[in-house]
């Protein structure tokens, strides 16, 4: 057998590598398909390329280039009108810096899809927890839906309200008419900046206070840039921490607390509490400092009753069975007495 020439193998490999390295660049459109007809929009534009591209754009009907800033090999083309169109893709080779173009594809949009547009939200920042989602169309829609941040479509039949957390969003609306012609809007980009949630902890709404010192305590879901309170409609007073109200006049009072979060959005949020200052300050004194005091008193009573029961049983010569019945009865009675004292203590604490 004749030996294979190693130089021949090396030469073939060099030729193969060179042919791959110096292969002509190819950019082939896969969608839309050349000479095809479509009846829905947007138009899906997709291509394949053997070029390492760092920039791409498309040209529709020999108009201005539309640069793509996200996916470099596919996009959706909105606003295409019925009729015959042509489209070409351009890419830039990141290795050589050379720009190449694809073949030009011709397609037809035959149907007249409904006109749809988003009127709210717009490209703005909303200082709220909700935003109206409103749309319009030039004809009755057989089906309509919106997609938020590229998620699955949410079918709707009328304008609605979106409740959203703080963050950046984009929304797209699509609809089709009774003939099945569909159209979609281009994405609308907007931002939500929720205001802070303010909670008044004390004074508690609906509570009557029989003390001349009432704590004014509150909390916020966010760091506040500015906060004020108003008592009974008086002028705003700046407040940055918990305070106390002293010697308020007897009667009903309302405190309103408002704040602006640290984002500086200018959106104020408020909360209020209406309470009563009793005319009988200090007139009600709780005989128990806590419910545990009532328990201690009940326990002492239980011990005393048990001791008396033992003495009585011994003096009366009761049998073991009778003695047990007496002891159980006394224990149950004493337990009920303890519960009663605790109920009194809790009730007395709540009204005083």
pLDDT digits (tens, 9 = 90+) for 143-174: 999 999 999 999 999 999 999 998 999 999 99
The topology under which CATH files domain 21-109 is Immunoglobulin-like (2.60.40)
CB atoms within 10 A of CB 264: 10
- Domain ranges (residues) in the chain: 21-109, 116-192, 198-277, 291-351
Report the pLDDT value the prediction gives residue 341, as an integer from 0 to 100.
63
Instruction: Kindly state the average pLDDT of the residues 226-252.
Output: 94
Q: What is the DSSP string of 211-226?
A: SSEEEEEEEESS-EEE
CB atoms within 10 A of CB 58: 19
Classify domain 198-277 at the CATH class level: mainly beta
Q: Fold match between 21-109 and 198-277?
A: yes
Report the pLDDT value the prediction gives residue 347, as an integer from 0 to 100.
55
Instruction: Kindly state the average pLDDT of the residues 64-92.
Output: 88
CA pair distance 41, 14, nearest whole angstrom = 49
pLDDT at 2 over 60: no
Q: On the CB side of 256, how many CA atoms lie within 13 Å of its CA? A: 10
pLDDT tens column, 115-143? 899 999 999 999 888 999 999 999 899 99
pLDDT at 290 over 80: no
Confidence at 50, pLDDT banded by 50, 70, 90: confident
Report the pLDDT value the prediction gives residue 19, as an integer from 0 to 100.
46
CA pair distance 169, 148, nearest whole angstrom = 7
The topology under which CATH files domain 116-192 is Immunoglobulin-like (2.60.40)
Q: Which two tokens stand for residue 94?
A: 């990141």
- Which of 231-245, 249-263, 268-282, 307-321 is predicted least confidently? 307-321
Instruction: Kindly state the average pLDDT of the residues 73-91.
Output: 90
Count the residues in the chain.
352
CA pair distance 13, 163, nearest whole angstrom = 63
């Amino acid at each position: 057998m004749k030996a294979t020439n190693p130089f021949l193998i090396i030469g073939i490999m060099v030729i193969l590598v060179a042919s791959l390295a110096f292969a002509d660049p190819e950019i082939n459109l896969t969608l839309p398909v050349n000479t095809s007809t479509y009846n829905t929009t947007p138009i899906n534009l997709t291509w394949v390329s053997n070029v390492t591209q760092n920039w791409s754009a498309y040209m529709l009907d020999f108009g201005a280039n539309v640069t793509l800033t996200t996916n470099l090999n596919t996009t959706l083309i909105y606003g295409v009108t019925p009729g015959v169109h042509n489209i070409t893709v351009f890419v830039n080779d990141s290795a050589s810096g050379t720009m190449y173009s694809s073949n030009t594809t011709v397609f037809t949009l035959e149907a007249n899809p409904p006109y749809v547009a988003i009127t709210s939200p717009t490209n703005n920042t909303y200082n709220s927890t909700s935003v109206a989602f409103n749309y319009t169309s030039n004809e009755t829609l057989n089906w309509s839906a919106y997609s938020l941040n590229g998620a699955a479509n949410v079918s709707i039949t009328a304008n609605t309200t979106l409740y959203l957390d703080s963050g950046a969003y984009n929304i797209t609306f699509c609809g089709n008419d009774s003939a099945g012609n569909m159209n979609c809007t281009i994405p609308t980009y907007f931002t939500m900046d929720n205001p802070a949630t303010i909670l008044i902890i004390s004074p508690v709404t609906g509570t009557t206070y029989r003390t001349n010192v009432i704590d004014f305590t509150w909390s916020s879901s966010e760091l506040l840039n500015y906060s004020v309170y108003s008592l009974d409609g008086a002028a705003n007073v700046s407040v940055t921490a918990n305070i106390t109200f002293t010697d308020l006049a007897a009667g009903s009072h309302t405190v309103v607390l408002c704040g602006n979060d640290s984002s500086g959005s200018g959106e104020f949020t408020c909360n209020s509490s209406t309470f009563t200052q009793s005319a009988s300050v200090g007139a009600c004194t709780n005989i128990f400092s806590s419910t545990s005091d009532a328990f201690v008193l009940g326990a002492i009573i239980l011990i005393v009753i048990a001791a008396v029961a033992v003495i009585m049983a011994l003096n009366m010569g009761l049998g073991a069975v009778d003695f047990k019945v007496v002891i159980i009865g006394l224990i149950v009675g004493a337990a009920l007495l303890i519960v009663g004292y605790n109920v009194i203590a809790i009730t007395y604490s709540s009204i005083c």
